Amino acid sequence: MTTSKASVPQLRRTRLQRWWPTFMVTLTLILVGLLLVLPLLVVLITAFRSGVGPYLQALQTPDTLSALRLSLLTVLIVVPLNTVFGVSAAWATAKFDFPGRSLLLTLIDLPLAVSPVISGLVYVLLFGRQGWLGPWLEANDLKIIFAPAGIILATTFVTFSYVARELIPVMQAQGKDDEEAALTLGASGWQTFTRVTLPNIRWALLYGVIMCNARALGEFGAVSVVSGKIRGLTNTLPLHVEILYNEYQTVAAFAVASLLALFALLTLGLKALIESRTGHSHP
* Nearest distance in Å: CB 209, other proteins: 13
* Nearest distance in Å: CB 44, other proteins: 10
Compute φ and ψ for 17, nearest 5 degrees.
-60, -30
Helix-helix angle 62-95:162-174, to 10 degrees: 30
Helix-helix angle 62-95:52-60, to 10 degrees: 70
b (16+ CB within 10 A) / e for 251-281: bbbbbbbbbbbebeeebeebbeebeeeeeee
Check binding of 230 to other proteins (CB under 8 A).
no
228 burial level (CB within 10 Å; 0-12, 13-18, 19+): middle
Check binding of 271 to other proteins (CB under 8 A).
yes
* Nearest distance in Å: CB 15, other proteins: 10
Instruction: Enumerate residues 6+ apart whose C-beta is below 8 A from 55.
Output: 47, 48, 251, 255, 258
* Nearest distance in Å: CB 129, other proteins: 9
- The window from 54-62, 88-96, 136-144 that contacts other proteins (CB under 8 A) reads 88-96
Identified binder of other proteins from the candidate list 48, 66, 85, 274, rule CB under 8 A = 85
Check binding of 206 to other proteins (CB under 8 A).
no
Q: How many residues bind other proteins (CB under 8 A)?
A: 120
* Nearest distance in Å: CB 51, other proteins: 18
Distance CA 272, CA 269 (A): 5
Check binding of 123 to other proteins (CB under 8 A).
yes
- The window from 50-58, 62-70, 135-143, 174-182 that contacts other proteins (CB under 8 A) reads 174-182
Which residue's CB is nearer to other proteins, number 32 or number 76?
Answer: 32
Identified binder of other proteins from the candidate list 4, 96, 140, 248, rule CB under 8 A = 96
Check binding of 211 to other proteins (CB under 8 A).
yes
Identified binder of other proteins from the candidate list 11, 13, 56, 247, rule CB under 8 A = 13
Check binding of 241 to other proteins (CB under 8 A).
yes
Q: Which amino acid is at 193?
A: F
Q: Confirm if 225 and 238 have CB atoms less than 8 A apart.
A: no
- For 2-51, where are the alpha helices, taking DSSP H only? 2-32, 38-47
Identified binder of other proteins from the candidate list 160, 168, 204, 235, rule CB under 8 A = 160
Check binding of 274 to other proteins (CB under 8 A).
no
Check binding of 136 to other proteins (CB under 8 A).
no
Check binding of 193 to other proteins (CB under 8 A).
yes
Check binding of 245 to other proteins (CB under 8 A).
yes
- For the chain, where are the alpha helices, taking DSSP H only? 2-32, 38-47, 52-60, 62-95, 101-109, 116-127, 134-139, 148-158, 162-174, 177-184, 189-192, 198-218, 221-227, 237-246, 250-278
* Nearest distance in Å: CB 46, other proteins: 6
Site for other proteins in 61-80 (CB under 8 A): none
Identified binder of other proteins from the candidate list 50, 249, 250, 278, rule CB under 8 A = 250
